[in-house]
Amino acid sequence: MRRFLSQRIPPFDRVVIVESGSRQLLEDLLPGLYEIYGEGMQLDLVTCYAGLPAGFRPDRGQVWRITEYPGAAGRARVVSELKARRHSILGIVCSNEAIMTKWKWMLAARLPGKLFILNENGDYFWVDRGNWRTLLHFLLFRAGLTGAGAVVTMGRILLFPVSVLYLLAFASVVHLRRRVRA
């Protein structure tokens, strides 16, 4: 996740997208990317799905299926292969679905490209200091800390340590009573 401090958008010549959400989102995005950035754009895809998304051009990109790379050695191999391709842009789909969650954040942390996030509405934003408010709202929304649910979530967070202390005290009293009786 480099280039966080810079608001400059690198050229869209080498792009990798992590398809970690609904396939429809990517199928809606691809034609626009190919149209806007033209024939010079090379678009690679990291996915867990079997087929190719509609609109993906295999002649102008490569596909990595994570099912073919099991374990830590497989993850390391994918990262090294993707680093060798020298992508300038990394896109991840964050559609509030638990698909490839560990993979997308691992790749976002390890790959040297400007990161953009595509959400479930088809909107995207760049992860950089210029969009820190959008990023903060996105993270708070995903954590349930916005809107009416924020009060409930904050209550749970504040009540959790009290609950743990109560349970520990109760268990201690029960075990102490057993020792006294024995």
- Through-space distance between the first and last CA atoms of the chain, rounded to whole angstroms: 60
Which residues is 118 bridged to in the sheet? 93, 124
Which pLDDT band, with edges at 50, 70 and 90, does 164 fall under?
very high
Predicted pLDDT of residue 40: 82
Average pLDDT over residues 68-77: 88
Predicted pLDDT of residue 160: 94
**pLDDT tens by residue, 91-131:** 898 887 778 878 888 888 888 888 888 888 777 888 888 87
Predicted pLDDT of residue 170: 96
Between these two residues, 15 and 139, which has the higher pLDDT value?
15
Predicted pLDDT of residue 5: 57
Same domain, 42 and 90: yes
Between these two residues, 61 and 146, which has the higher pLDDT value?
61
- How far is the C-alpha of 15 from the C-alpha of 150, rounded, in Å? 36
Q: Is residue 133 part of a domain?
A: yes
Which pLDDT band, with edges at 50, 70 and 90, does 4 fall under?
low
Same domain, 137 and 152: no
Domain boundaries, position 41: 14-142
Predicted pLDDT of residue 2: 57
CA angle 120-69-91, nearest 5°? 30
Mean pLDDT lowest among 25-39, 54-68, 85-99, 141-155: 141-155
Longest dimension (CA), the chain: 82
What is the domain count for the chain?
Answer: 2
Q: Which CATH number characterizes residue 40's domain?
A: 3.40.50
Predicted pLDDT of residue 135: 81
Q: Which pair of structure tokens corresponds to residue 21?
A: 């959400």
The reply to whether the predicted model has a pTM over 0.85 is: no
Dihedral of CA 134/150/98/77: which sign?
positive
Q: Is residue 159 part of a domain?
A: yes
Predicted pLDDT of residue 149: 76
Same domain, 92 and 179: no
Which pLDDT band, with edges at 50, 70 and 90, does 174 fall under?
very high
With a cut of 80, say whether residue 35 has pLDDT above it. Answer: yes
Chain-centre distance of CA 139, in angstroms?
A: 11
Q: Is residue 1 part of a domain?
A: no
Same domain, 74 and 131: yes
116 contacts 19 by C-beta, under 8 angstroms: no
Average pLDDT, the chain: 85
